[in-house]
A and B are shown apart, each in its own frame.
Chain A
């Protein structure tokens, strides 16, 4: 079945450092790819997405490019802030019976940014 593998955490960075969180996937067909973020005490929120090969999703300074040739969707940010501390989940969509597209998530990567 489809699966997502993301870099194990935790990741600890200093403010203004460069961030990369690796994500690779295995899928039949051409799924959409997502990054979700979970801030402490809050629900999952969509951070960005890409729906086809070579698309770049971006939001709040974060970027990820859908790379079909390497089956990857790595998350990057040029200069992290303390407020970026959270758990980040890579996910892909998988078409299901009934027409829904369920999400398949990676295990999550906890990021801590120190001042």
Chain B
């Protein structure tokens, strides 16, 4: 497809489980962002990649959160030992160049029970 694709669309995890969320950006897009959107809130920045380099991870809420983009295209956001407060929609966005318009995926809704 032409847009940013995220999978799975929905994920239910029991507290303490590890999860991995995948983002397929638009082909050729250099920049990739992850955002977290809690219920009733706006998205909040988690981390930024330029190609395979993670240039900013200042928004990751704890060391349980880890993101990678090893070949500069697909990215994975991993959350270890999930907690209830991790329940949110995780959004991925990509752009062609550093400050080009962002294209958002539909998100992965994570529910931790």
Contacts and interface: CB of A to CB of B under 8 A. Distances in A.
Interface of A: 4, 41-46, 89, 91, 96-108
Interface residues of B, number: 28
Contact of A46 (B44, B99, B101): B101
B43 A103 contact: yes
Contacts of B48: 96, 98, 100, 102
B42 A101 contact: no
8 contacts: A43-B4, A43-B105, A44-B104, A45-B104, A89-B43, A96-B56, A99-B98, A107-B40
B57 to A, nearest CB: 10
A97 B44 CA distance: 16
Interface string B69-113: 000000000000000000000010100001101111111000000
Given A43-B91, A102-B45, A105-B42, A97 B104 contact: no
Contacts of A108: 40-42
Interface string B37-75: 000111111001010000110110000000000000000
B56 A4 contact: no
Contact of A98 (B55, B99, B105, B106): B55
B61 to A, nearest CB: 15
B4 A104 contact: no
A108 B58 CA distance: 23
Nearest to A94: B45
A108 B43 CA distance: 9
A24 to B, nearest CB: 14
